[in-house]
Structure 1
Amino acid sequence: MCICHLPCRPVKPNIIGEQISSKMGAHYHCIICSATITRRTDMLGHVRRHVNKGETKSSYIAASTAKSSNEILKEADTDVQVCPNYSIPQKTDSYFNPKMKLNRLLPPSRQLIFCTLAALAEERKPLECLDAFGATGIMGLQWAKHLGNAVKVTINDLNENSVTLIQENCHLNKLKVVVDSKEKKGSDDNLEEGEENLGNIKVTKMDANVLMHLRSFDFIHLDPFGTSVNYLDSAFRNIRNLGIVSVTSTDISSLYAKAQHVARRHYGCNIVRTEYYKELAARIVVAAVARAAARCNKGIEVLFAVALEHFVLVVVRVLRGPTSADETAKKIQYLIHCQWCEERIFQKDGNMVEENPYRQLPCNCHGSMPGKTAIELGPLWSSSLFSTGFLKRMLFESVHHGLDDIQTLIKTLIFESECTPQSQFSVHAPSNLNKQEENGISVKTTDDNTTDNTAQGKRKCSEMITNLVKKQKTDVITEHPPFYYNIHRHSIKGMNMPKLKKFLCYLSQAGFRVSRTHFDPMGVRTDAPLIQFKSILLKYSTPTYTGGQSEGHVQSASEDTVADRVEMSVNDKAEASSCRRW
């Protein structure tokens, strides 16, 4: 019996040929999507979902026709075929993020990873590269198309539709598909006469953990949907010495302290929302990467860590050996954070338990405020987040490959790694970038005449690692100061702040290291304590109104008035912080 006002009808079982059992009984057939459902209640829910989506028979047929004709996009001279709804991960198997394209206004993650691989390719060739979560394969296609024989690319994905799409995109870009060390049949069918293949790409369909356990690579890029902690142990199991692991984490709800219980479950980390939450998220991911490397008797050197828009990208170099692993594990520490003034400091190492560890903070909130004023965050990565030498090589590669959009971000990272203002720098200076040292390791760049990149024996690698460890012990002072202050969060009520560039000059003239940070457009990275930061900010701030007083009279205000203003600002911050806690 048919259901009234619903686009479905009951169909009796076909008895001819005895192909359908008589136990099946009557079933319902949806005329919109041609689905066959046995139970009436299930059919009602099925039709209700069609009604909620506003789908009719004509609209559904149009959508089905669109699925068969995929859209072709172009990015960095690479053609990629994407499915309908490619920008919505819930509605497609092969997710393609248009925000990752070459764009001045959006985070260029693929450009950063490409410059990283190009800089690594100048050290040794060929490189075994893995894109563990290929989706459309756009990243691996760009590697193979622009770096050529310097890389051997493997693109992996567990979804069968994604693997088929990756193979079609390889043919679209005139790249051969290799499956199980054999060329796939029909790989040259789409080529016209006179055209040649630009390279080979190996496409695999298996779990990323299984693939990384089976094979060893020089470069691994992990970009799963959400957290990447489930794949770190496999990535460091077979990664070659001095190789690079790139980790992209998109679970910002937990990393940015919006879901603290998820951060505790995934990263084993206690975290709260702070003014420097983006750098806190980057240090959480680096700490998880460092622990995974140490479990495999490997250490890491952080090349750079960025937090942009909806993702956190961490790129590290792998250093084999228990000595490097021990040095890496020592850099995972806890952070003491004051909830009243937001001052912070890494907890000092020691085996003895302190009666009041909050006294390590440079502020006096624990003495003037009742109760517990600070909390313990972490474990976090306490060392540097940037390698100046490697970033300069990335800048050289971006100039060499014509990636103009990424150069501004890389230069900002270089200033941040050196903690210097953006006043003394020259982009067109390849002579300064020919031979860079990364923590004591001399690396070869494009202009070196050495051609044998693979003849690096175990003795040479061990010497390089030894020099790295020695350099890390002696150059701890030269590292950039951790974290930053937001100039608006510490502004004084009723006062106009100076411009950010002028304020950086004032801090530098006072004898402090200072630079801007990519984590926050109004953030200031400096080694100045918060008290000095506020005093300099107040010194060069002007009142919003003079009240009939002359400018000279305002500048000659007494020290008691200045102290009262600072105390008022501290009390305001304390009141606001207490409201946030309650």
Structure 2
Amino acid sequence: MRVSEGDVEVEAPDPRDGSSEGAGDAVFFNPEMELNRDLTVAVLRAYAERTSAGAANVSRDGTTAGAANVSRGDEERTLSYLDAMTATGVRAARAAEAGYDVTAADVDADAIDLARENLALNDLPGEAVESDANVLMHSERFDVVDLDPFGTPMPFADAAVAGTRKLLCVTATDTAPLCGAHFDSGVRKYDTVPRNTDFHREMGLRVLIGALSRVAARRDVAVEPICSHATRHYARTYLDLTHKATAADKALEWLGFVHHCEDCLYREHEFGRIAHPPEDCPNCGSARCSTAGPIWLGPIADREFVGSVADEVTPNMGEWKRVSRLLDTLAVELDTPTHYDQHRLCKQWGAPANKLETFLDDLRDAGYDASPAHYGGTCFKTDADVAEIRAAAEPSGD
């Protein structure tokens, strides 16, 4: 079938033909990931602008557009981009349309034929190569590498760090291991202790970034998350890389642990590589406290960069409204390592839930920082603990 996304059209297998993602030998196309791809294009445009300090080129229709150019001495070159598991090549085609020098890779010969066909269909330059992603990333280097595998990206993480000069984009769809619902699998794949908490989406995102930061540090590379989100069935992060041992040491200082009470929902965090969990909950005295980590406790996004990404979202993107709302929330979301669900707290207290905006205003009026969180419509972040939240913002029911 012919599919239109953004400024490109591609031929893709019909997802209604009975095949399923990750099953069989058929090339798979997932329309549910359009938001992911729309946001990726906006990130790529904003990153090119940041890297090239506003360089511009002429697009195929003769209009001026932001170029994926980077200075190298007195010359400029186009930023290179690897779509490491390209399948239909739609992600690669959209990156090429955004001005990147694209390589689309896959182990499936049919996928490479289709990716090559889709680049030609849109009159876009780019190379499609039949190659194992790990082999390619260990043998060549790209300015931007995009990992969007089925399931966990961790078998490709070391090669991805080795093959990336600047920006590493990573998707993980194995949310159950990430958030601790499949505990043993999460421990094996991410080399950490994940916990299935009421903030499970954020747990998964921070497990992913933490694991990637440790893999990068082994190669003396630091990661800085400049845009990250947990949406639907996946976690996605964009990591700016610095190839310097001292920077890697500093990045590892963002790792630590979260201690969470399963009864009253109290939680606290500590930085470092050794956990010091409380024997009992400091708030309610419960012995049912769990510890997760090491996970990433630092910021998941650069607010200034998120603002520039929002400027690159255009109405021709199929999910532009949802992408814009997501970025608006990320731009104001506090950097605290965990979020709360207002409805979950109110149920815990036996109180009716009021409007989230009113709830957050009550927290701010009491002197605390508070913001919405992108993990759900009733999620928020604050520097207040659960007792302080209740005292400041518990709805009266009047």
Pair 1:333 & 2:253 matched: no
Deviation at residue 495 of structure 1 after TM alignment: 3.3
Residue range with higher mean Cα deviation, 91-100 or 202-211: 91-100
Alignment check: 8 A CA contact 1:81 1:169 kept:
yes
Find the aligned partners of 1:276 and 1:485 in 2 and give their Cα distance: 7
State TM-score, norm by structure 1. 0.60
Alignment check: 8 A CA contact 2:360 2:393 kept:
no
Corresponding residue number in structure 2 for 1:88: 20
Deviations 1:441-470 (A, max 9, x none): xxxxxxxxxxxxxxxxxxxxxxxxxxxxxx
Corresponding residue number in structure 2 for 1:128: 80
- AA of the residue aligned to 1:138: V
Corresponding residue number in structure 2 for 1:309: 232
CA change 1:349–1:171 in 2 (3 A) is closer
Corresponding residue number in structure 1 for 2:43: 116
- AA of the residue aligned to 1:216: R
Alignment check: 8 A CA contact 1:336 1:377 kept:
yes
- AA of the residue aligned to 2:198: E
Find the aligned partners of 2:194 and 2:162 in 1 and give their Cα distance: 29
Corresponding residue number in structure 1 for 2:57: none
Find the aligned partners of 1:541 and 1:239 in 2 and give their Cα distance: 53
Find the aligned partners of 2:112 and 2:130 in 1 and give their Cα distance: 7
Pair 1:75 & 2:5 matched: yes
Alignment check: 8 A CA contact 1:498 1:541 kept:
no
Corresponding residue number in structure 1 for 2:89: 137
Deviations 1:486-511 (A, max 9, x none): 11111156533322111111111111
Find the aligned partners of 2:13 and 2:271 in 1 and give their Cα distance: 53
- AA of the residue aligned to 2:185: V
Alignment check: 8 A CA contact 1:347 1:360 kept:
no
2:360 equivalent among 504, 518, 526:
504
Find the aligned partners of 2:25 and 2:372 in 1 and give their Cα distance: 39
Deviation at residue 348 of structure 1 after TM alignment: 5.0
State TM-score, norm by structure 2. 0.87
Alignment check: 8 A CA contact 2:255 2:273 kept:
no
CA change 1:115–1:238 in 2 (3 A) is same
Corresponding residue number in structure 2 for 1:205: 130
Say which SS state the counterpart of residue 135 (structure 2) adopts: helix
Q: How does 1:343-492 map to 2 (within 5 A)?
A: 343-347=266-270, 349=272, 357-358=277-278, 363-366=282-285, 369=286, 372-399=287-314, 404-405=320-321, 406-416=323-333, 419=334, 480-491=335-346
Find the aligned partners of 2:232 and 2:303 in 1 and give their Cα distance: 23
1:518 equivalent among 353, 361, 374:
374
Alignment check: 8 A CA contact 1:83 1:92 kept:
no
Deviations 1:370-408 (A, max 9, x none): xx4322211100111111111011112225987842222
CA change 1:273–1:402 in 2 (3 A) is closer
CA change 1:167–1:252 in 2 (3 A) is same
- AA of the residue aligned to 2:103: T
Identity of aligned residues (%): 29
List alignment gaps of at least 5 residues for structure 2: 53-68, 70-77
Find the aligned partners of 2:157 and 2:271 in 1 and give their Cα distance: 28
Find the aligned partners of 1:287 and 1:131 in 2 and give their Cα distance: 23
Highest RCO, 1 vs 2 (Cα 8 Å, sep ≥ 6): 2
Find the aligned partners of 2:150 and 2:228 in 1 and give their Cα distance: 19
- AA of the residue aligned to 2:141: S
Corresponding residue number in structure 2 for 1:156: 105
